[in-house]
Structure 1
Amino acid sequence: MNNQNISDVIEAYLKQILAEQEQIEIRRAEMASQFNCVPSQINYVIKTRFTIPKGYIVESKRGGGGYIRIIKVTLSTGSEILLELEEMIGNKLSEQDALSLLQQLYDNEIITKREGNLFLSLISKQVLQSTNEKNEQELRARLFKAFLTRLGYEEKE
């Protein structure tokens, strides 16, 4: 565990399991005991590292028999992916979520690394900074949707 923090270790452990299975079901208290950490640490890892933009759906059930289920999302192909991503974006998009979505596009070979980096530079906080963070996130969402729409045209040609 040398220089890795506990969040990185938990994330790596869960992703290793998800590489072999499409979904996993965990119990927060058991995971916390296994990694000798507080249960809120497990929540933190799941909420920040297993999000829809990063390709995961998280379901949970509270109570004595409760669980947390993490499902690796397998995106469809071509324009179907673009429509799914457009629906996920909504009206606001943070810079971190935009980066995760671009990574999904790259991982699914829809965009090149160069295209992703170029678009990322256009939607960065430095370029879109305004007096209001809400306006920045709304503008980023509109730009990303326009990007996805244009990618959809490329797919059809």
Structure 2
Amino acid sequence: MRNISDSLEQYLKQILQESPEGAVEIQRNDLADRFSCVPSQINYVISTRFTLEKGYLVESKRGGGGYIRIQRVELPALKAIQGHISQTIGEQVDQNAAEGLIYQLEEADLISRREGNLLRAAICREALALKLPLRDEIRARLLKAMLISLLMK
């Protein structure tokens, strides 16, 4: 059985996918009522699963008429992917940002789940048992090389 966080995430992704604008506005309390949970559960799911690194822009307005707006940020066209990778990764990249980019590429069907798992295994802290900032520099170089190789097939 799926937990409430997984169900919320899937529901939000589904309505985002069905939205012609690629964005949705939700009322936190309405969503909490729909899933029989507390509004803080909604906050948790949005703040951990709908991040910029994962390809989402979240805007929140509090108060009586408040809402949460989630918008999918599209990756650039395939021709510009190499530049996007270099810009996103830079000279150093921490594990969270790297995993976010991998997630975004999986969601866009540019890499498979299996390829994503291999990338995550190669760039994790345990595999790169080095001190910072060297670890983030090596991770950036590895990730750039692997992604460019995968995406330029």
What TM-score does the superposition give when structure 2 sets the normalisation length?
Answer: 0.74
1:121 and 2:127 aligned? no
Q: Go from structure 1 to structure 2 and tell me whether the alpha carbon gap of 1:32 and 1:130 turns closer, same or farther (over 3 Å shift).
A: same
TM-superposed CA distance for 1:141, in Å, is: 3.7
Matched with 1:42 is 42
TM-superposed CA distance for 1:142, in Å, is: 4.9
Q: Go from structure 1 to structure 2 and tell me whether the alpha carbon gap of 1:31 and 1:80 turns closer, same or farther (over 3 Å shift).
A: same
The superposition leaves residues 90-110 of structure 1 with CA deviations (integer Å, 9 ceiling, x where unpaired) of: 65422x542342243355465
- Partners of 1:67 and 1:7 lie apart in 2 by 19
- Partners of 1:63 and 1:102 lie apart in 2 by 35
Q: Which moved more, 1:97-106 or 1:48-57?
A: 97-106
- Partners of 1:109 and 1:4 lie apart in 2 by 24
- Partners of 2:39 and 2:113 lie apart in 1 by 37
- Partners of 2:117 and 2:7 lie apart in 1 by 28
- Partners of 1:12 and 1:113 lie apart in 2 by 17
SS in 2 for 1:54: coil
Matched with 1:16 is 14
TM-superposed CA distance for 1:130, in Å, is: 3.6
- Partners of 2:70 and 2:59 lie apart in 1 by 7
Q: Go from structure 1 to structure 2 and tell me whether the alpha carbon gap of 1:120 and 1:13 turns closer, same or farther (over 3 Å shift).
A: closer
The superposition leaves residues 23-74 of structure 1 with CA deviations (integer Å, 9 ceiling, x where unpaired) of: 1001212222222211111011001111223221111222322211111122
TM-superposed CA distance for 1:19, in Å, is: 1.4
Structure 2: which 5+ runs fail to align?
A: none
TM-superposed CA distance for 1:87, in Å, is: 3.5
SS in 2 for 1:126: coil
More helix by percentage:
1
Aligned residue identity for 2:143:
F
Matched with 1:65 is 65
SS in 1 for 2:37: coil
Structure 1: which 5+ runs fail to align?
A: none
- Partners of 1:109 and 1:36 lie apart in 2 by 32
- Partners of 1:63 and 1:138 lie apart in 2 by 43
- Partners of 2:14 and 2:114 lie apart in 1 by 28
Matched with 1:93 is 94
- Partners of 2:107 and 2:41 lie apart in 1 by 28
- Partners of 1:92 and 1:68 lie apart in 2 by 29
